[in-house]
Amino acid sequence: MTDYTEATASEPTASEPTVTDLRAKLVAVRSEVGKAVVGQSGAVTGLIIALLARGHVLLEGVPGVAKTLLVRALSQALDLDTKRVQFTPDLMPGDVTGSLIYDAHAGEFEFRAGPVFTNILLADEINRTPPKTQSALLEAMEERQVSVDGVSRPVPEPFIVAATQNPIEYEGTYSLPEAQLDRFLLKLVLDVPERDDEIEVLRRHATGFSPRDLAAAGVTAVLDSDDLARAQQEVAKVTVGVDVLAYVVDLARATRQSPSVKLGVSPRGTTALLAAAKAWAWLSGYDFVTPDHVQAMLLSVWRHRVQLRPEAELEGVAVDMILASVMQQVQVPI
């Protein structure tokens, strides 16, 4: 995956101290998460970008690469409420959204809220449950509300779904519906740690680290929901030139014209890339989006929105390869 931490950040352009402080706090979040999670700096930054852009994240990786721990550590560093749902084949939609329960004392039905009513919903192994239950999250992800028995109930703000999944080829998994995949702003791929990082993981465990006790690991809150809301407002002010807008559209159209692609990037995908690029630009200290910001976010935003033709898959073509080729073909605005 793209390691956003490698991009060069300029000095903050805004002179308002609070804006500088907000950026500094978000940078500090990485350090706090690093007390529990070794490596995966790109995934940490991706999750922060998703929060700034008010989007959702799909984390893919083999079991044991700290997907769940990453989300738990992030929520603690941001002082946000989080709930975890273990997705299983027998999980029902009401187990996620909530349902009406009859109260014998009151003689009426009352709504019992499900775990979706939180700030960060950790949907663990989301592709181990059937599509019917997966789709139960659609309304919350898109409309930020849940409708039960004709009554719509808003979820808290901020709200983000951080879903983990094992690679599709693993047994007992279900492919996410296209409509749901499209609701995730980013798909972040977590690889097996490098040798030195893996040694550090073992060293921490050898000295008593427990992934179930983040407080003992020293992870503390450096940001709260009010700070995050102000940061989101600042991201919304980031400007985008017409040439950059045209560049995003040209990139999307190039995916649709690729002979290896069955389904290219939709207009929803272009707006998602724009939102992520604005968040990354602001986090990097810019008040405007450059083509570099677009390119830095493109793989994570589009890799789950492109479908390859069967013959391309048989030839071993990967979506990331197609997207990298598209970025080389499309002319970058000067």
pLDDT tens sequence across 100-125: 887 778 778 888 889 999 999 999 98
Task: Determine how β-strand 57-60 pairs with β-strand 160-165.
Answer: parallel
CB burial of 154-191 (b: ≥16 within 10 Å; e: otherwise) equals ebeebbbbbbbbbeeeeeebbebeeebebbbbbbbbbe
- Rounded to whole angstroms, the Cα distance separating 71 from 21 reads 23
The predicted structure's pLDDT at residue 168: 62
The two tokens of residue 54 are 């008010």
Selection from 45, 21, 24 nearest residue 33 by Cα: 45
Give me the phi and psi of 297, to 5 degrees please: -100, -10
Domain ranges of the chain: 4-237, 238-334
Cβ–Cβ < 8 Å for 120, 75: yes
* Residue-wise DSSP of 42-55: HHHHHHHHHHHTT-
CATH topology of domain 4-237: Rossmann fold (3.40.50)
* Residues facing 164 on adjacent strands: 59
- Rounded to whole angstroms, the Cα distance separating 169 from 129 reads 15
Structure confidence by residue, pLDDT tens digits, 194-224? 899 899 989 988 988 888 888 888 889 988 8
For the entire predicted model, the pTM comes to: 0.86
The predicted structure's pLDDT at residue 8: 42
Residues of the chain with pLDDT under 70: 1-17, 168-172
How many other C-beta atoms lie within 10 A of the C-beta of residue 151?
Answer: 10
CATH code given to domain 238-334: 1.10.8.80
Cβ–Cβ < 8 Å for 260, 322: yes
- Rounded to whole angstroms, the Cα distance separating 59 from 57 reads 6
- Rounded to whole angstroms, the Cα distance separating 55 from 67 reads 18
Selection from 47, 77, 75 nearest residue 59 by Cα: 47
